[in-house]
Amino acid sequence: MAEDPRILLLGKPGCHLCDDARAVVARVAGELGVGWEERDITVSEEDTRLYGDQIPVTFVDGVQHDFWKVDETRLRTALDG
């Protein structure tokens, strides 16, 4: 993962939707050569409160992009723009 990630994935352990999202994010980021990072919402009460019902949540360049599912085409478009 790169030093300045463009993609942030919020999730939690044991979340199958997060596993699916992680696979899409890793593939797209790898193909486009952009950095990404993942954060576990269970380590922050605020993250849990804000995003607990929406995970996985993705951010691109600091802006919330998707939740519940990562759409590969939308993610590629956001990173190209």
Domains of the chain: 7-80 (3.40.30.10)
Categorize the per-residue pLDDT at 2 as very low, low, confident or very high, splitting at 50, 70 and 90.
very low
Categorize the per-residue pLDDT at 1 as very low, low, confident or very high, splitting at 50, 70 and 90.
very low
pLDDT attached to residue 4 = 82
Which residue, 26, 21, 1, 2, is CA-closest to 10? 21
Q: What is the pLDDT of residues 14-73, one digit of tens each?
A: 999 999 999 999 999 999 999 999 999 999 999 999 999 999 999 999 999 999 999 999
- For the entire predicted model, the pTM comes to 0.91
Helix, strand counts (H, E) of the chain: 3, 4
